Chain A
Amino acid sequence: MDVILFLIFAAIAVVCAINVVVQTHPISSALSLVGVMGSLAVLYLLLGAEFIAAAQVIVYAGAIMVLFVFVIMLLNAGAETRKGRSLMVQFLGVPLLIFFLGLAAYFVQRMFPDNTMVRFGGFTCAGMQTGESCGGAETVGRALFTTYLLPFEVTSVLILIAIIGAIVLARKELE
């Protein structure tokens, strides 16, 4: 059952990701990207990361993609025109990319020959009993507010800077 679920949603993610790259119109790419993020949320659930799955749907598929679609609408972006590319890109681009992917896959297989098996609900932390969920909001929140308190606080400064930057960039010139 887990394998079937993984295969279905991995296939959806890969097909949508290919669609993001090959579509010429930005709005088609954006909608395909929503598909990738939705299927990744299901895979996070399979890995026992409930909180991250919810955050993925809300933050990525919700907030960020709405921002993208909004900007595409605002700029009235049309389909991309194909232009002549250099010979190197035409003939070497895809083979080099497949080589890079093969290298990555090879190292993954080399480094994890023991193959930890992923089962739904099988994610347990070191000090917890089996059956207890480790990826829920409680565990994540506890770690966030104890071990990772300083990064969390620094993040608030980052968001403040992002807000100010976005306002400064997007406002009309005053003079």
Chain B
Amino acid sequence: MLQAVPISWFLTLSAVLFSLGVAGFLFRRNIITVFMSIELMLNAVNLSFVTFSYHHKEVAGHLFTFFVMVVAAAEAAVGLAIILTVFKNRATLNIDDVSSMKN
């Protein structure tokens, strides 16, 4: 029985979460769920930052995680406002229907 957790387990978990975020981003059609998948990917990267911070015995990774959180909060505010505006103008949440930039 292992007494402590190998660092690669944390990094593999981060990779799994990131892949699931990519899957959600690519496969889902609801604009809100796509946005949530982006948050999932950001969280996976945060876990990597904190893990590497532990590995290198440095506090810098925590700071990067902190800044990612701030950017995510700002992004969520603006992104959800954009979603509201899109819904107000087009009455749809399906990203396939919002394609006026195509062609």
Contact = CB atoms under 8 A, between A and B. Distances in A.
Interface string A28-39: 011001001100
Nearest to A21: B24
A60 to B, nearest CB: 7
Nearest to A164: B78
B102 interface: no
B8 interface: yes
Interface in A46-82: 46-49, 51-52, 55-56, 59-60, 63-64, 67-68, 71-72, 74-75, 77, 80
Q: Chain A contact residues (Cβ within 8 angstroms of B): what range?
A: 35 or more
Interface string B5-31: 111111111011111111110111110
A164 to B, nearest CB: 10
Contact of A143 (B15, B55, B63, B82): B63
B37 A21 contact: yes
Contact of B84 (A71, A109, A126): A71
Given A158-B70, A169-B82, A17 B20 contact: yes
18 contacts: A17-B17, A20-B20, A20-B33, A21-B27, A29-B33, A30-B36, A46-B5, A55-B66, A55-B69, A59-B69, A59-B73, A93-B26, A97-B23, A112-B6, A123-B57, A125-B57, A159-B73, A166-B80
Interface of B: 1-13, 15-24, 26-30, 32-33, 35-37, 39-40, 43, 46-47, 50-51, 53-55, 57-60, 62-63, 65-67, 69-78, 80-85, 87, 93-94, 96
Given A20-B36, A60-B39, A144-B63, 18 more contacts: A14-B13, A17-B16, A20-B20, A26-B32, A33-B36, A36-B17, A49-B53, A49-B62, A56-B69, A64-B73, A68-B80, A74-B84, A89-B27, A101-B16, A109-B8, A116-B54, A159-B73, A170-B84
Interface of A: 2-3, 6, 10, 13-14, 17-18, 20-21, 26, 29-30, 33, 36-37, 40, 43-44, 46-49, 51-52, 55-56, 59-60, 63-64, 67-68, 71-72, 74-75, 77, 80, 83, 89, 93-94, 97, 100-101, 104-105, 108-109, 112, 115-119, 122-126, 134-135, 139-140, 143-144, 147-148, 151, 155, 158-159, 161-163, 165-166, 169-170
